[in-house]
């Protein structure tokens, strides 16, 4: 007999990713309802990110019977949480550098902006390495799961 649905499902990788999809769709619906027009600006809260997350959740669901390392699962999920934050920070600073025509109210505002950009530049590289490592961990874990075979019931 099949076990009924339990809340332990939410702490599994596919459950966490499903919660991330729901959160992203809520943010998208709120921005759409408030009339924020993100079209033409990247990265906008579109439906492409939940679609990519859905693909990861499906892959986790169909490979759950294979022997994989749980630590790499959660490392990958953490990198998926960091990725949109990284993209928005990059778009807000590096991808949106103020041009010379950008008017600051005073010189102190310009210096604060440049100091913020310098701080984010320092944080972007470790975050990007973390996200890249999470994707590599996902691929390694999927391949290792196929090599190690299915879980045994002892």
pLDDT band at 1 (very low <50, low <70, confident <90, very high): very low
pLDDT digits (tens, 9 = 90+) for 65-82: 888 888 888 898 889 888
pTM above 0.75, yes or no: no
* Cα gap 117→95, rounded to integer Å: 11
Asked if residues 82 and 129 have their Cβ atoms less than 8 Å apart, the reply is no
pLDDT band at 38 (very low <50, low <70, confident <90, very high): low
């Amino acid at each position: 007999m099949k076990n009924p649905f339990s809340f332990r499902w939410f702490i599994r990788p596919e459950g966490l990713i499903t919660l991330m999809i729901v959160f992203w769709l809520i943010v998208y619906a709120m921005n759409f309802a408030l009339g924020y027009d993100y079209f033409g600006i990247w990265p906008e809260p579109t439906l492409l990110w939940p679609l990519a997350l859905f693909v990861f959740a499906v892959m986790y669901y169909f490979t759950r019977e294979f022997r994989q390392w749980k630590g790499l699962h959660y490392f990958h999920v953490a990198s998926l949480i960091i990725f949109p934050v990284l993209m928005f920070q990059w778009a807000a600073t590096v991808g949106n550098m103020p041009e010379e025509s950008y008017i600051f109210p005073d010189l102190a505002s310009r210096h604060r902006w440049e100091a913020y950009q310098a701080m984010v530049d320092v944080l972007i590289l470790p975050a990007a390495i973390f996200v890249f490592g999470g994707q590599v961990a996902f691929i390694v874990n999927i391949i290792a799961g196929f090599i190690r075979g299915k879980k045994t019931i002892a």
